[in-house]
Amino acid sequence: MHPILCKIGPLTIYTYGFFVFTGVLSGYLVCLKIARRENIDKTIFSDIIFWTLVFSFLGARIFYIFVDFNNFLADPIGVLVSRSGFVFYGGVIFGLLASYFLTRLHKINFLKFCDIIAVGIPLAHAFGRIGCFSYGCCYGRPTHSWIGVLFPPDSPAGALGVKVIPTQLIESMFLFALFFILWALNRHRKFRGEIISSYLIFYGIFRFIIEFFRADLRGSVFFLSLSQFIAIILVGTGVFLWIRQVKTIVRK
């Protein structure tokens, strides 16, 4: 709960930004290592990753504006230049769309590329959630249990004035564990698309569950939160992809 990591002269390094940068860099390096093992040209892979990240951040911001549209109307400039204000799902969707067109442009198998980045995404996301904790966003429901955290009053979670469940740290721990699982699974991959489908299924299930403990609700679809609705789509996509690829192997 230290929004400012340090100050170097006139330069202020924010904790949120630091952890997001650390996550992106760590995820990229991990993916680059796997790409080399898959004999993908480093320059081409880095180019695809760069533009994928650009569209991912754009999508994450657009989704944030969409799900928090009232605040955007009240203060559009403030929302656009805010240090927070990203929706992870938006980043994943826009990033995958961008990478699909880019891989086709460079004649790289899309599922092969997805299997690679699926290992790095949870690592980057895990660091990003630590940044969320430092800023006080993406917080959990009020609680009187020992796990509760009281955030500073000037933070989004602190505005509640009570202890809340640190869903950011819970999700971060899960994502670090998921990274190691996918890293190990990738070493023994049996078919193309296995890693990305595993990521979609595991993360989708977790995200559906953790949403019950989140307090910063951002829209709903019927009786589900928007994030839970998207989580169901992710799990369904992962299961469909897994079955389709397995059937392809059986036919061969």
pLDDT category at 10 given cuts 50, 70, 90 is confident
Distance CA 134, CA 124 (A): 16
* The pLDDT value given to residue 145: 94
* The pLDDT value given to residue 88: 77
pLDDT of 63 above 90: no
* The pLDDT value given to residue 168: 96
pLDDT of 58 above 70: yes
Q: Long-range contacts for 24-27 (Cβ within 8 Å, ≥24 apart)? A: 24/53, 24/124, 26/120, 26/123, 26/124, 26/127, 27/117, 27/120, 27/121, 27/123, 27/124
Predicted TM-score of the model (pTM): 0.88
* The pLDDT value given to residue 252: 61
Compute the mean pLDDT over every residue in the chain, rounded to the nearest whole number: 89
Handedness of CA 219, 97, 126, 159 (dihedral sign): negative
Higher pLDDT among residues 204 and 159, named by residue = 204
pLDDT of 48 above 90: yes
Nearest to 203 by CA among 87, 98, 97, 88: 88
Higher pLDDT among residues 239 and 222, named by residue = 239
Contact between 155 and 136 under an 8 Å Cβ cutoff? The reply is yes
Lowest mean pLDDT among 70-79, 93-102, 159-168: 70-79
